[in-house]
Chain A
Amino acid sequence: MRYLPHTSENIASMLQKVGVKNLDELFSTIPEDCRRKDDLNLPEPMSEWELNDHMNTLAGTMAVSPEYKVFLGAGSYDHYIPEAIKHLLMRSEVYTAYTPYQPEISQGTLQTIYEYQTLITRLLGMEVANASMYDGASGLAEALLMAIRITRRKKVAVSNAIHPLYRRVVQTYFAPTGYEIVEIPYLANGRTDISALDNLEELAAVAVQSPNFFGCIEDLKNIGEKAHSDKKTLFVTCFTEPLAYGLLKSPGSLEADIVCGEGQSLGVPRSFGGPGLGIFASLNKYVRNMPGRLIGQTVDKDGKRGFVLTLATREQHIRREKATSNICSNEGLCATTATMYMASLGGTGFRELAGLNRDKAEYLKGEMKNAGFTISFDSPTFNEFVVESPAGFETTYKKLLKRKIVAGLPLAPYYPELDDHYLFCVTETSSKEDMDALIKEVTS
């Protein structure tokens, strides 16, 4: 086997040094009744070439572009990834390294993540960002737990227009400790109904998503002010599409205390939902309550600039049960990817690409309206929007799947009241031609 370099001579001389007769004897400390008697029942090993064929076949069953036109977003977005990034990620000094515990020989990882932290704070208008969380959903759960730690309160208010799968993850994280989650409804315009906050007291946090699950851009300024009417309450905002902040005001400029979300859009392939990138940012005054790793700048013995893992006293390996989180491995390579992506676009490109996403989505929105769909919510949107379909669309939807078009995400499984509603997403990868073809299909 090409990954196992030991020849039989090697094995014999090593066994001799160890002082045992055979490989089985190495396991003498394992009691007999703990051992397995039978061989592993696994498929016969495949050669590299057999594996390629096998995987090609499985990959071939998947509905992906360009063969399929997939108008799906909902937390996972199709964006172009420059070839340069794919090539850089093949630098195996980067992807075969462990967490940078030995800074002298890990400066590549450390400087990159320091750059990541910096670009994220600039994108979100925040003061400090960590080295990443698992994904947007667990990031939101950790943000709310952080607010609970800071305020010593036990109740959070969460907008119902936050991604429904994120809310389910929050529920799972909260279940063992019994912290309370109050859901705030959404309005007919698709934005969060902040008047529901009027009757709530002692909140650790108010959490909203913008653009929200329906694609609607929330009025963060208003919600932030309302949340902060109680000085102790923290304003938590999350997102699934960070590209939106190329165009929109940053949450940091609108009084957010903690900002978290999914960074898959920043150059990370969708890969059936993971790995993604949990982005997490906050204010300096809360840094010691933040979960996750942080990279800091310092100097070496000769006074030269360098970077290290820092503020580790918050973390599990030092603080053990008093740690701010149990997170250890995060999504380092995805944070690296995001850094390369943000650097490739630059401020100028990021804004242009964001604009293009919105303009294309607006085009399809207009065309769908003309085709007899109702635009469900009239709030401004970024690259996603909800439509209510004309009668009989369910059949058309199934027919379109056969024609290799995925015409949005049916919302009924997530919001029973939104029967016949579909969430559409358009990014820079959809051409006008693709959208016109979709309209032609739905009207024919």
Chain B
Amino acid sequence: MLRLSHAMKAVSYLAIISLLGVGLFVPIAQAGLIGTEAIVNAADAHSDRDRVKKLLAREDIRNQLLALGVDPDEAGARVQGMTDSEAQTLAGKLDQLPAGGGVVEAVLIVFLVLLFTDIMGFTDVFPFVNKPAR
């Protein structure tokens, strides 16, 4: 399973790179309007290496979304809605970044510690604890 997913990853990277390779021979300069993105982010030139990196970041996020239980159709839409900088932030980190869920899944000792810290006003886990004002 692991080996297969590695193989699939390699294939998809190859596909991306070969697609981009085709793009390399097409003249990039186009007549007409210049988009706001190019105006705002003029500093980071859109080199081909950059484009590969960005595409790989998105592919990586999509795979991670799937691995974390997101529906395949929805995963694509979620990645598509991201800006490049968001994709860069998220790539490879979906299992580490804080995920707000708000529920404690704790063993007794943690429950007791959090209860105590709640009473002291250091935390705010349990709604039934009256926290001190100061």
- Binding between chains A and B: no
